[in-house]
Amino acid sequence: MKRFERLEGLIAAPFTPMHEYGSLNLDIIPDYYKLLKRNKVIGAFINGSTGEGVSQTGEEKKQVIQAWSEATKGDSEFKVINLVGGTSLAESVEMASFSEEMGLFGIAYTSPYYFKPATARVLADCCTQVAAAAPNIAFYYYHIPVLTGCNVTMLDLLNTVNGSIPNFAGIKYTHEDFMDFLSCIYQEGGRYDMLWGRDENMLSALALGSFGAVGSTFNYAAPLYLDMIEAFKRGELLKARDLQKRSIDIIRLLGKYGGITVGKAYMKLIGLDCGKFRLPLQNMSPEQYESFSKDVAAIGFDELRSV
């Protein structure tokens, strides 16, 4: 059984920067990395949901990996994890192998989402093949049933894997089943790194002892979350709640203006233009952007944003 460094702190799930007509804009990734560092973010979860991995070609995903690998070279404190999920196991395997070759800290894998694994056994078999293609780096399972439609619980997955995947380091948990989440924290003496993936509920995960998190709003509002973690650690719960409430104010605007794509609008506001999302996601209209900008001012985003 390998032991990987336990991740404590904020790991951003970066947006994939695009030019105006939708091609990759990799030139700004060094700046993106510096922004995250400046804001004490400790890693990047690339090609994930926020990074639109599924909307890219295999070739593009490799370019993104390469760009992050180069931008972060020499900074072993900064962990880059690449999502290799997809519906073709062979493609996931190839991407896993490439991720290790590029010197990333780890890979993540999510359930196939067209045909869904019917049992924990099948899902574990998929994980086994992918993890084996990057045997020297950390493997995380990415649990996001609302998008994959795979409803295997993580406790069932861990019980089925049962230590048979040496580099299985943990789970990025993007779901509200706190009972399953806490059960995984207690699994096998606490050996799994359970990374919380719902920024709007982070305080509830902190209470369960989860101090590592992967999220999209850490791209543009990292200080808020670091303050929340500090407040929680000092026992200042009222302050922590206030900060969680302000995080919710930020996230509520995502719902109001069309979902995940609103994140790139926040990025524009803080000065790192990542372009737009690709189809099948919808970007705000100019009118919506104007209204959004006003709402952003009303919630006091300037006090909380990344700098």
Confirm whether 172 is a catalytic residue.
yes
C-beta of 4 vs 178, nearer to its own copies: 178
Rounded Cα–Cα distance for residues 202 and 213 (Å): 8
Question: In the Cβ-directed half-sphere of 221, how many Cα atoms lie within 13 Å?
Answer: 27
Rounded Cα–Cα distance for residues 96 and 90 (Å): 10
CB 205 → its own copies: shortest distance, Å?
7
CB 307 → its own copies: shortest distance, Å?
26
CB 76 → its own copies: shortest distance, Å?
30
C-beta of 88 vs 151, nearer to its own copies: 88
CB 75 → its own copies: shortest distance, Å?
30
**Cβ 143 vs Cβ 174: under 8 Å:** yes
Rounded Cα–Cα distance for residues 207 and 231 (Å): 12
C-beta of 200 vs 295, nearer to its own copies: 200
Secondary structure, 3-state, 84-127:
CCCCCHHHHHHHHHHHHHCCCCEEEECCCCCCCCCCHHHHHHHH
Residue whose structure tokens are 């045997």 = 135
C-beta of 149 vs 271, nearer to its own copies: 149
Q: Which value, to the nearest 10 degrees, does the dihedral of the CA atoms of residues 39, 45, 47, 50 take? A: -60
Confirm whether 142 is a catalytic residue.
yes
CB 83 → its own copies: shortest distance, Å?
11
Coil, strand or helix at 214: strand
Q: Which of 142, 173, 192, 266 is catalytic?
A: 142
C-beta of 70 vs 200, nearer to its own copies: 200
C-beta of 177 vs 273, nearer to its own copies: 177
Positions touching its own copies (CB under 8 A) are: 49, 54-58, 60, 87-91, 94, 111-119, 122-123, 125-126, 129, 147-149, 176-179, 182-183, 185-186, 200-201, 203-209, 232, 235, 237-238, 240-241, 244-245, 248, 251, 258-260, 278-282
Q: Which of 61, 79, 172, 264 is catalytic?
A: 172
Q: How many CB atoms lie within 10 A of CB 291?
A: 15
**Cis status, amide bond into 17, omega within 30 of 0:** no
- Give the containing element (helix H, strand E) for 79: strand 79-83
Rounded Cα–Cα distance for residues 215 and 264 (Å): 14
**Cβ 92 vs Cβ 85: under 8 Å:** yes
- Give the containing element (helix H, strand E) for 237: helix 237-257
Rounded Cα–Cα distance for residues 136 and 191 (Å): 17
CB 73 → its own copies: shortest distance, Å?
28
Q: Which residues are catalytic?
A: 142, 172
